[in-house]
Amino acid sequence: MRTRLYSLEELNDIPGTTVFNAMRSRQAYHLHKFCMSLMNPANREQFKQDESAYLNRFRMSTEQKQAVLDRDFNQLIELGGNIYFLVKLSNTDGWSTQKAVGSMTGMTPDEYAAMMRAGGRPIKGNRSIRGKK
């Protein structure tokens, strides 16, 4: 066996963080296909006219479709999604990236924006679940 600098299990020790990998990429393939379809203005219009009907064109899971309808970005990431695909959805909604990202933190958009203006979320206490440092 080759040696590794660290076990990949360590990636699960970062608090509030999901590391996007090949398995998740596959899990979210059809969700991401939907997201990238929104790079076309005609598709954006059709999605806005009837979101459910538009989503049914894609082989996404029921949970993924519901999370899109709910704009539940934490759930979309739980279901394999990656933020760079998902912002195609929030961009279509006219949201800023900050609003989309802040929506995952349990803070209001104003609270999140104020935290960022004040220097962002500190690293102290946010490095490790196990070590709580």
Partner 1 sequence: MARITAGIASSHVPAIGAAFDLGRTQEPAWKPVFDGYEWVRQFQRQEEPDVVILCYNDHASAMMLDVVPTFALGCAEEFAPADEGWGPRPVPTVMGDPVLAGHLAEQLVIDDFDMTLMNHLDVDHGLTVPLSLMFGKVEEWPVRVIPLAVNVTQFPTPSAERCWQLGVAIADAVQSYPAGLNVQIWGTGGMSHQLQGERAGLINPEFDQAFLDKLSNQTDDLRRLTRLEFLRESGSEGIELIMWLIMRGALGAKVEELHRFYHVPASNTAVGHIVLRPVR
Q: What residues line the site for partner 1 (CB under 8 A)?
A: 5-6, 10-11, 14-22, 25, 29, 32-33, 35-36, 38-41, 44, 73-74, 77, 82-85, 87-92, 94, 96-98, 101-102, 104-106, 112, 115-117, 119-123, 126-128
Q: How far is the CB of 76 from partner 1 (least distance, A)?
A: 10
Tokens of 62: 């029921």
Whether residue 25 contacts residue 82, with contact meaning beta carbons closer than 8 Å, is answered with yes
Q: How far is the CB of 54 from partner 1 (least distance, A)?
A: 14
| Closer residue to partner 1 (CB): 37 or 66 | 37
Tokens of 3: 């040696």
| Closer residue to partner 1 (CB): 28 or 65 | 28
Whether residue 83 contacts residue 104, with contact meaning beta carbons closer than 8 Å, is answered with no
Alpha-carbon gap, residue 70 to 76, rounded angstroms: 10
Q: How far is the CB of 112 from partner 1 (least distance, A)?
A: 6
Alpha-carbon gap, residue 14 to 97, rounded angstroms: 22
| Closer residue to partner 1 (CB): 39 or 53 | 39
Q: How far is the CB of 56 from partner 1 (least distance, A)?
A: 20
Reference 95, options 107, 85, 103, 105; nearest CA is 103
